[in-house]
Amino acid sequence: MTSTSPVHSPAADPARTRRRSATLGTLGNVMEWYDFTVYGFLAAAIAANFFPGTDPVAALLASFAVFAVGFVARPVGAIVLGPIADRRGRRFVMLLSMLLMAAGSLVIGLSPTHASIGVLAPALIVFGRLLQGFSAGGEFGSAAVFLTEWASTGRRGLFGSLHQVGTYGGLLLGLLVVSVLTSVAGSDAVREWAWRIPFILGGLLAIVVLYLRRTIGETPEFAELDQARRAGDASAATDTGPGIGAVRGFVLAVGVVALWAVTSFVTINYMPTFASTFAGVEAGSALWATAIGCVLAVGMIPVFGHVSDRIGRRPLIIGAAVGYLVLPIPLFALLVAVPSFGTLVGVQIVFAVPTAMIAGAGTATISELFDTQRRGALVSIAAALSVSVFGGAGAYIATLLVSTTGLAISPAFYIVAVALITLVAGIALPRRAHT
């Protein structure tokens, strides 16, 4: 793996080159986020094998604490890999992060349990999550700017939404794999041994995608910047894209990503565990119900990305925040009062709309806040920090809230609080309609 990349000239066949780059960039993102998030769907099984104890809630908290460890490593990965994306290219970091993610997944999937090696077992799980978190810190920003920079004029929203099609597609793939596995092998087998299959499968598929990703070219926007640097043209290499100022842009990006992260890691990734543990929905049904909502969200994400190219990013970010201000409390209350597969399907379908709104517009929103030469680093670091603070700890905070308050709907209060932060950021975003 080198800093040089295949040359794909957009001038030669712009439509085909863009489609190919977008497809391979999105496919890699699917596998990256499948590997990173599948842990959340198997948290109960991991708790039983690596954090044994008499209190299942305490074991689940320990498992989610390790889940959060991956998010602690994300800012570190962003700080290290983000600037590399601005120096050596988006493609280079996308390849490196995919390799690290595959390694982390295989470490988790092949780790001996607590019954076999004692306290070393959870240490291996922590190491695997650290590898995954470090990788994700670089992947998010590099893939986001890769896709938006390949977009043609007026289509950053649509191309950027493919980033989230990949992210939520990875979530969906994880849901489907775990759901099918649970249905075929049974909950007991998944708890005992079959939990390993999704991690090993993900690690191997990530290696395949890594090989395919090697053929993609660098973005025209970065290639132009790199050429100016090599030619010693300081003025051309200083500010080659939109931006509103690093500090303001960074703060706004953190605010936008806050709710975005919660939609991924609480209302989707954590929801099956919440529904089965605290609402009494059967585990397999909870997975399938959430998968239905996720399918709907993935289908709507590019639609809202396209809409953002027409009406602007700001209305969609604000609309999603308002949705998550008013919906969580009544929907969680409904699920707890009427715990069933149908209720959870309805809840997830309703949540899918504001989820797709912020995911569809979000990638272009944060990418456009920064100029080209700093975009990779600042998008990566802002997103990693926000996801770690608001999303990574979300499952732990939600479980802790239920445990300490005794109020099953208390995770909704956390979602509402984060939505308020994103609403403020959305209002403060630039008013330009699209770029």
Residue 270 has pLDDT above 50, yes or no: yes
Residue 396 has a pLDDT of 83
The residues, any chain, with a CB within 8 Å of residue 259's CB and separated by 6 or more, are 320, 321, 324, 358, 390, 418, 419, 421, 422
Domain that holds residue 239: 14-428
The better pLDDT of the pair 434, 62 is held by 62
- For residue 419, the surrounding DSSP H or E stretch is helix 411-428
Residue 291 has a pLDDT of 87
Instruction: Find the mean pLDDT for residues 403-423.
Output: 94
- Calculate the dihedral angle through the C-alpha atoms of 383, 384, 389, 392, rounding to the nearest 10 degrees: 110
Instruction: Find the mean pLDDT for residues 170-190.
Output: 88
Q: Which of 6-20, 83-97, 220-234 has the lowest mean pLDDT?
A: 6-20
| Residue 186, Ramachandran bin (φ over 0: left; ψ between -120 and 50: alpha; else beta) | left
Instruction: Find the mean pLDDT for residues 12-38.
Output: 77
- Residue 402 belongs to some domain of the structure: yes
Instruction: Find the mean pLDDT for residues 157-163.
Output: 90
| Alpha-carbon distances of 78 from 241, 245, 306, 368, rounded to whole Å | 21, 19, 28, 18
Residue 414 has a pLDDT of 95
- Residue 331 belongs to some domain of the structure: yes
The residues, any chain, with a CB within 8 Å of residue 414's CB and separated by 6 or more, are 262, 266, 394, 397, 398, 401
CATH number at residue 244: 1.20.1250.20
- Residue 413 belongs to some domain of the structure: yes
- Residue 236 belongs to some domain of the structure: yes
- Burial (0-12, 13-18, 19+ Cβ within 10 Å), 393: buried
**Which residue type does 207 have?**
I
Decide: 313 and 256 in contact? Cβ < 8 Å. Answer: no
- Residue 169 belongs to some domain of the structure: yes
pLDDT tens digit string along 50-96?
887 757 777 777 887 887 788 788 899 999 999 998 888 888 898 89
pTM of the model: 0.80
Q: Which residue has the tokens 């842009």?
A: 249
pLDDT tens digit string along 329-378?
999 999 999 999 999 999 999 999 999 999 999 999 999 998 878 888 89
| Alpha-carbon distances of 176 from 170, 260, 373, rounded to whole Å | 10, 22, 39
Q: Specify the number of domains making up the chain.
A: 1
- Residue 8 belongs to some domain of the structure: no
Longest distance between any two alpha carbons in the chain, whole Å:
66
Q: At what angle do helices 156-185 and 120-149 cross, to 10 degrees?
A: 150
Residue 223 has pLDDT above 90, yes or no: no
- Residue 7 belongs to some domain of the structure: no
Distance CA 401, CA 423 (A): 23
Residue 233 has a pLDDT of 58
Residue 8 has pLDDT above 80, yes or no: no
CA 22 from centre of chain: 17
What count of residues does the chain have?
A: 435
Distance CA 130, CA 70 (A): 5
Residue 9 has a pLDDT of 47
- Residue 5 belongs to some domain of the structure: no
Please give the DSSP secondary-structure letter assigned to residue 393. Answer: T
SS (H, E, C) 255-324: HHHHHHHHHHHCCCCCHHHHHHHCCCCCHHHHHHHHHHHHHHHHHHHHHHHHHHHHHCCHHHHHHHHHHH
